[in-house]
Structure 1
Amino acid sequence: MSEGSPVGAHVIKMMGYIQALEKLGFPLNDELAIDVVLQSLPDSFNQFVLNFNMNEINKTLPQLLGMLRTAESNMKKGGSKSILMVREAKGKGKKVVKSKGIGKTKPKGKNTLKPK
């Protein structure tokens, strides 16, 4: 796919190639078919591909087509701004240990009391 061309037409063409392979006796499973489509995208979709793979999203080719069309429209609206999706980590994090205030110094200023 060339940079700037519509992603919908490209993905539909790729789906046709995948169906042609099935008719020839070389079927691709869903995961491999999606990987082939994602690898054929230009560099402007790198962030989408990264999020798709990192979040282990399980979609069919038509669902992927819808997601790519949405991502393409968001890229056109936002220009060159990139979006990073962050989600809560699985598992336990580090415990935060609170200090008991031993060894803290008091602030010095006009309002502090001084011993006589």
Structure 2
Amino acid sequence: MDSELQKQHDNMKAYDMIMHLRQLYPKQARYERFEISKALFQARLTEGSPIGPHVLKMIVYVETLERLGFPLDQELATNLILQSLPDSYSQFVMNYSMSEHNKPLPKLLNMLRIAE
């Protein structure tokens, strides 16, 4: 942030600062939301790749969208992660869906690491 812009935000709380910056740079925020949601919806784990970095990356995308004012429902975020997995995780996905788990995303990550 340049010094003049920083001075404008010195006495603002984080939320107010974000809202002000969005007003100043609406097209950049919109483009960022587009790129992040595109990456999230197109994410796929390739067979044999480690699950941890993949799911962590997806969690960061979900959290970034929330920070940009576009929170995803917990169930939708979970479904996106499960749908990004290769066929070798189909048994896990079926068991998870049948047991009606609605775990927070970090717990889902831990369950997937155990299943790996």
Unaligned runs of 5+ in 1: 73-116
Where does residue 26 of structure 1 map in the other structure? Answer: 70
Where does residue 68 of structure 1 map in the other structure? Answer: 112
TM-score in terms of structure 2 length: 0.60
Report the number of matched residues.
72
The alignment yields a C-alpha RMSD, in angstroms, of 0.8
State, as a whole percentage, how many aligned pairs show the same letter: 61
Unaligned runs of 5+ in 2: 1-44
| Alignment partner of 1:42 out of 82, 86, 89 | 86
> Which of the pair is proportionally richer in helix?
2
- Decide which structure has the larger Cα Rg and report it: 1
> Residue deviations 1:28-76, cap 9 Å, x none?
121111111111111110110000001111211011001000000xxxx
Q: Which runs of 4+ in 1 moved over 2 A?
A: none
CA distance in 2, matches of 1:42, 1:21: 24
> Residue deviations 1:71-113, cap 9 Å, x none?
00xxxxxxxxxxxxxxxxxxxxxxxxxxxxxxxxxxxxxxxxx
CA distance in 2, matches of 1:24, 1:60: 20
TM-score in terms of structure 1 length: 0.60
